[in-house]
Amino acid sequence: MEKKVTKRAPTLCPVARAEDLVGDRWTVLVLRELFGGARRFDEIQAGTEATPQMAAARLKQMEADGLIERRPYSQRPLRHEYHLTEKGRAFFPVLLALRAWGETWCKAPGEARAVEFTHDACGGPAGLGPLCETCGRSLSHDDLTAERTPAYAREREQRLRRFKGLS
């Protein structure tokens, strides 16, 4: 019960191809955590609220798909961190678009944003679009500084406490 080779029809459609790799909730949430700076198994697990098997299974598959790589950060005991590859980092625009759609269309009026980005290149707020709302240039992950809004920071802390409590 180890092979998960994702045997799908080899369509030319790039959307279907992409969905074969990232077409499930957990994978996308893991990517979100990695873009947010998480590196260790338990950070990722806690941040996504996945079960350990789901986290382990997704990370394994994502490594096989070339989205992430495992890097040892300690011999004895041997432990690894998970890092985005170039392919993984290239996914950022999709996540940004998904975030914009989610903020705009999946929230009740008055609900707070989760994260505000500052565009380092111009110093202004970046907004939701693919272009900086302050300077109009296009946004890459390296040019952005994320700051969690207070409400979202609280939510994350509670999640973390719940996780620590149960583990």
Helices 25-35, 41-48: axis angle to 10 degrees equals 120
**Residue closest to 160 by CA, chosen among 25, 62, 46, 15:** 46
The one of a copy of itself, DNA, none whose footprint includes residue 114, by CB under 5 to 8 A per kind, is a copy of itself
Sign of CA dihedral 95, 79, 61, 162: negative
Q: Does 41 bind DNA (CB under 7 A)?
A: yes
Residue with tokens 């040892």: 72
Taking the C-alpha atoms of residue 112 and residue 149, their distance in angstroms, rounded to an integer, is 8
- In this complex, which beta carbon is closest to DNA, that of residue 56 or of residue 121? 56
The alpha carbon dihedral of 147, 152, 158, 160 has a sign of negative
Residue 19 in the binding site for DNA (CB under 7 A): no
Angle at alpha carbon of residue 79, lines to 77 and 82, rounded to 5°: 175
The pairing of strands 144-148 and 115-119 is antiparallel
Q: In this structure, are residues 134 and 158 in contact, taking their beta carbons and an 8 Å threshold?
A: no
Which 72-91 residues touch DNA, going by CB under 7 A? 76-77, 79-81
How far is the C-alpha of 55 from the C-alpha of 16, rounded, in Å?
23
Q: Which stretch binds DNA (CB under 7 A): 11-19, 56-64, 112-120, 134-142?
A: 56-64
State the binding partner of 5 from a copy of itself, DNA, none, CB within 5 to 8 A by kind. none
Closest distance to a copy of itself from the beta carbon of 56 (Å): 20
Chain residues binding a copy of itself by CB under 8 A are 9, 11-21, 23-25, 28-29, 32, 49, 87, 90-91, 93-107, 111-114, 130-131, 138, 149, 151-152, 155
| The entry of DNA, a copy of itself, none that residue 143 binds, CB within 5 to 8 Å by partner kind | none
Q: Which window, 45-53, 85-93, 101-109, 148-156, contacts DNA (CB under 7 A)?
A: 45-53
Residues of this chain that bind DNA (CB under 7 A): 4, 24, 26, 40-42, 50-54, 56-57, 59, 76-77, 79-81
